[in-house]
Homo-oligomer: A and B are copies of this chain.
């Protein structure tokens, strides 16, 4: 595995590869878990060359968020990637990607307005900006994103279409623990007690899906209320628990009849202690 810090050298390498083959790319912030590794295995299926980046992107963290304490486990990450036969690990510094002279901002409107957009101002602009740079540097033909960050995935699809990027965005189902908790680098912030309570999150979202499917004639609020109560009961502070269409990510009002929503999904964000967790689930998919 090549390990490179310089955007210029990665781009030269990628341009050379691209003349003869395809490149699949997985952007990460490191602290790799099984969710990331699955994205990378998917990348290996899609293209002969696989590039992974590790960069904790300051632009996508707000004031008071966890940029400083975000877990950095480079040695372990590097070993995992070797094991997966990754071709190139891109490890830029902040100065490499965002030098003093950097002056460009990317904003994707619409899809980023609600849900986490409301609670993390500037977050999606930061993600869009770094992803557009990374796509140019890695010359990716495919980029793989997990559905756990569903709003991010949808925004990146929009950005790719809007900017005519010659790139296919591939989505990957959320990878979960045995109890259903979505894998996230932030799960390691949870105390053992919080981790035990966190199991209520996938349970609640499953319950939302069950009620949605058995009572599609219910208004949205009646479907969500028991789940909200359960989550607050174990100490979750909710940013939102809502049903929105996967198309526009605009939360339905509480009085909307559930069956009138196209491509319905339940979306959650909230804090357990100091840890912010997010999750989302298609309401149309079959019960498992």
Contact = CB atoms under 8 A, between A and B. Distances in A.
Nearest to A106: B106
A164 interface: yes
A271 interface: no
Interface stretch (A25-33, A48-56, A97-105): A97-105
Contact of A19 (B19, B107, B136, B137): B19
A104 B19 contact: no
Contact of A166 (B111, B136, B163): B136
B103 A163 contact: no
A4 to B, nearest CB: 14
A109 interface: yes
Nearest to A109: B103
A11 B166 contact: yes
A136 to B, nearest CB: 4
Contacts of A165: 136
A104 to B, nearest CB: 4
Contacts of A105: 106-109
Interface in A88-145: 101-111, 128, 132-133, 136-137, 139
Contact of A104 (B102, B104, B133, B159): B159
16 contacts: A7-B164, A11-B164, A101-B161, A101-B162, A103-B109, A103-B111, A103-B158, A103-B162, A104-B106, A104-B158, A104-B162, A105-B107, A132-B163, A133-B162, A133-B163, A133-B164
Given A104-B158, A104-B159, 4 more contacts: A104-B106, A104-B109, A132-B163, A139-B166
**Leading 10 A-B pairs by shortest Cβ distance:** A104-B162, A136-B164, A103-B109, A103-B110, A105-B107, A137-B164, A104-B108, A133-B164, A102-B162, A103-B108
